[in-house]
């Protein structure tokens, strides 16, 4: 079964600084990868997804992620964060067929003014 590891539970960063949230997955077959953001007391919003094709995926709010098959990683990056980016970020993976979407434990991004 596939699994997802988000290496950092909390990431504090100053406003306008770059940020990288790390995500590694375990699967020996083709995977589909996702990043979601959850603002306080809200549902999950899809930031971006990798289904196939280009390994660099651009999403909403200036975020991007790179799929690295050899390192089984799908790290999320943003070159300059805003206070409004403070939220919980979840990486998720699924395989084909009826396999469910499996989530990592989340990374709390705190942007400091």
Partner 1 sequence: DTAVSQTPKYLVTQMGNDKSIKCEQNLGHDTMYWYKQDSKKFLKIMFSYNNKELIINETVPNRFSPKSPDKAHLNLHINSLELGDSAVYFCASSQGHPGLAGGPYFGPGTRLTVT
Q: Which residues would be at the binding site for partner 1 (CB under 8 A)? A: 32, 34, 36, 38, 42-46, 49, 51, 88, 90, 94-98, 100-103, 105-106
Q: Residue 83: what are its φ and ψ, rounded to 5°? A: -55, -40
Q: Which is nearer to partner 1, 38 or 72 (CB)?
A: 38
Dist. CA 42–CA 76, nearest whole Å: 21
Coil, strand or helix at 34: strand
Q: Which is nearer to partner 1, 18 or 100 (CB)?
A: 100
Q: Could you tell me which residues come within 8 angstroms of residue 73 by beta carbon, excluding any fewer than 6 positions away?
A: 22, 23, 24, 25, 66, 67
Nearer to partner 1, 12 or 100 (CB): 100
d(CA 94, CA 17): 31
Are 20 and 79 in contact by the 8 Å Cβ rule? The answer is: no
In the complex, least distance from residue 96 CB atom to partner 1, rounded to whole angstroms: 6
């Amino acid at each position: 079964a596939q699994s997802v590891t988000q290496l950092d539970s909390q990431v504090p960063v100053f406003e306008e600084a770059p940020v990288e949230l790390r995500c590694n997955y375990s699967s020996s077959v083709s995977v589909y990868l996702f990043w979601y953001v959850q603002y306080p007391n809200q549902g999950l919003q899809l930031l971006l997804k990798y289904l196939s094709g280009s390994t660099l995926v651009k999403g909403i709010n200036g975020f991007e992620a790179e799929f690295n098959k050899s390192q089984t990683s799908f790290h999320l990056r943003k070159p300059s964060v805003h206070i409004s980016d403070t939220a919980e970020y979840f990486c998720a993976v699924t395989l084909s067929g009826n396999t469910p979407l499996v989530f990592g434990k989340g990374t709390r991004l705190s942007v400091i003014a």
